[in-house]
Structure 1
């Protein structure tokens, strides 16, 4: 088998979750490894940020991120694993120190908080658990 175009399309975790849920809910029952992989992947994705996302929030977030000149891969990483700190942004965005000011990094965090408020709730809950 030959891969003709490896980067033909990339899917967000949200899109993968919705697609797998359609496969699971279809009348045609899958057996064996496909059913196991589908089940395990859905179970994993339901415990990530994508389970709380909506197509509208994703689209609005991407529009809000447009002024920062991020490439597709960087946007996808931000959508799949919304950053909660400036360090997260540095890890996701190549050469972020040169491309973004501290103020711009804070603006990106504000955008994430605006469109994915559940992410900040999860962060606060994790911090509370760590202090206990």
Structure 2
């Protein structure tokens, strides 16, 4: 096999999920390795934030994050695993202390919460904590 373009594009989990759903729905039942890989990957992705994302929410989020001059890989990580705390932003954004102010980090978190509200985890009720 010849590799024509070794790094043509990076796909988000959402794009992979959507593509595998189409593969699963359009083709007759697969047998063997392709069926196993498709099934296992879909099973994994169903438990990630990408299941609740939409193409529109991703596009709008990326557009609103543009002023922060994040690298493509950083944007991809934010889309695949949306951070909910400033600490998570530090793990994702290279040299975040130099590139982003605390206010900018809060703005980024607000943008993420706006476009991906399903990832914001609410703290458990006090009743649940005491059990």
* TM-score when normalising by structure 2: 0.91
Find the counterpart in structure 1 of residue 63 from structure 2: 63
The structure that is helix-richer by fraction is 1
Find the counterpart in structure 1 of residue 124 from structure 2: 128
What are the residue-to-residue correspondences of 1:43-122 with 2, within 5 Å? 43-120=43-120
Find the counterpart in structure 2 of residue 7 from structure 1: 7
* TM-score when normalising by structure 1: 0.90
Deviation at 1:4, TM superposition (A): 4.9
In 2, Cα distance between equivalents of 1:4 and 1:96: 35
Deviation at 1:8, TM superposition (A): 1.1
Structure 2: 5+ residue stretches without partners:
none
Q: 1:28/1:119 Cα in 2 relative to 1: closer, same or farther (>3 Å)?
A: same
Deviation at 1:71, TM superposition (A): 0.8
What is the number of residues matched between the two proteins? 128
In 2, Cα distance between equivalents of 1:98 and 1:3: 38
In 1, Cα distance between equivalents of 2:102 and 2:89: 10
Query: Alignment RMSD, CA only?
Result: 1.7
Which of structures 1 and 2 has the bigger CA Rg? 2
Structure 1: 5+ residue stretches without partners:
none
What are the residue-to-residue correspondences of 1:16-27 with 2, within 5 Å? 16-27=16-27
Deviations 1:73-92 (A, max 9, x none): 00000000000000100000
